Amino acid sequence: MSTEQGPSWRPAGILRDIVKEKEMAMALYENTLSTRPDHPLNLRLAFAAPAGSARLARAMRDAADAGHLCVVAEIKGFQNLGNIPRPRERLSVGELEGLVDASYETPQMLATELAAGGVDAFLVASDAARYGGSLDAVKLVSKQLRKSGTERGPPVIRHDFIIHPIQIAEAAENGATAVNIVAGACLIDLEELLTSATMMGIEAVVECHTEIERDLALEAGAAIIMLSNYDRSIGQLVRGRAEQLVSEIPEFVQTLAYGGITTATDAWRYMDMGFDGVVIGTSLLKSRRRTDFVRELKSEKRVARSSMFGNFGYDNSRMSSKAFDVARSEMEASAAVNDDQILKEIENELMSITDEHERRTVEAWLADYRRSAANPQ
């Protein structure tokens, strides 16, 4: 047995302090609950749920059957993570001077807006110190979505550092249908926590950043695994980590990609790698066209873009092609879309592309397209 799994194992880096904080809170809570045997949380801990929830798994399957990614929106007040770094760069939380402005009035208002736009599920933060969340936010979002007309609305996942069954009971009591379990915070207790979630009728999404976390999650029977580019032990975003881990995941285990997904092209790339869904957080919260962004993630624009750029031999999987995104999103409502209009819109948007490689690629594509149009075969 690995020493990491032994009794002396402790979470690495800054996760250690986070887990200590959670352990202290749970110890105090346990003392309080010991005097209240009839407390709702004690009842959830003591008795198995009559039926388990599979709403998240079903939402992911439904998205796959429809031919698009499952889109999970992360709702949080802020995150200690600023601008997304370029590939191979890492961004330290300690280097940041500010917090992400979520730009929304209440969590339930944001959830209503995004649900109308087609979001399949919500990851709602309940950790106050690191995400500006709360259990009240989980409760309010769950309650609001139940009013949304279609059955019980999209599933809600509690997003926190889960280290004790009490936290799973809290999630269920506040309307969540699933919990996000960060494997790096509870590795030796992971199997017990998964069992507790099953007993309480709650789905579990196990977040993994390393091979050992992934392997132990599979060994413990995790049915949904979120492969994260975010290394919580050091507070850094590491591009490409999720794609390195996905190859060893069996097909019957559902997968989500998390961390640093800022464009539709990013999300579609994960789809090509076999992921069932993506979690979009900061980039969605800061977007000025949130519902359009969600619709784009689930649209057929990916096929159109691949055809137009692929015909000229360009690898559009490595660029966000912002100009093309904007051109299509602005014109998709029009029935009179043609290539000349699209080209004009792309030309108008070239100035907004700050990445030199991407700008030159789009300019080269435009030049080739014009030459092809002027000299038809």
pLDDT in tens, 258-307: 999 998 889 999 998 999 999 999 888 888 888 889 988 887 545 444 44
Please identify, among 263, 278, 297, the residue that sits at the C-terminal boundary of a domain.
297
Averaged over 176-189, what is the pLDDT? 96
pLDDT band at 91 (very low <50, low <70, confident <90, very high): very low
Q: How many domains does the chain have?
A: 2
Residue 22: inside a domain, yes or no?
Answer: no
Q: Tell me what the mean pLDDT of segment 43-65 comes to.
A: 91
Taking 90 as the threshold, does the pLDDT of residue 26 lie above it? yes
In this predicted structure, the answer to whether residue 75 has a pLDDT above a threshold of 90 is yes
Domain of 249 in residue numbering reads as 55-297
Q: At what angle do helices 290-297 and 322-331 cross, to 10 degrees?
A: 100
Residue 55 has a CB neighbour count (10 Å cut-off) of: 17
Which of 80-84, 323-327, 370-374 shows the lowest per-residue confidence on average (mean pLDDT)? 80-84
Please report whether residue 147 resides in a domain.
Answer: yes
User: Last residue of some domain: 248, 273, 297?
Assistant: 297
Residues 114 and 257 in one domain: yes
| 226 neighbors 178 (Cβ within 8 angstroms) | no
Q: What is the CATH number of the domain that holds 123?
A: 3.20.20.70
Does residue 129 fall inside a structural domain?
yes
Backbone angles phi, psi at 6, to 5 degrees: -75, 175
Mean pLDDT, range 170-177, rounded to an integer: 96
Residues 292 and 165 in one domain: yes
Cβ atoms of residues 122 and 157 within 8 Å: yes
pTM over 0.85? The answer is no
pLDDT exceeds 60 at position 313: no
Instruction: Point out the domain boundary residue: 276, 297, 318.
Output: 297
Alpha carbon separation from 65 to 61, 222, 250, 256 (Å, rounded): 6, 22, 18, 16
> Is the pLDDT score of 311 beyond 70?
no
Q: Please state, for a pLDDT cut of 70, what percent of the chain lies above it.
A: 69
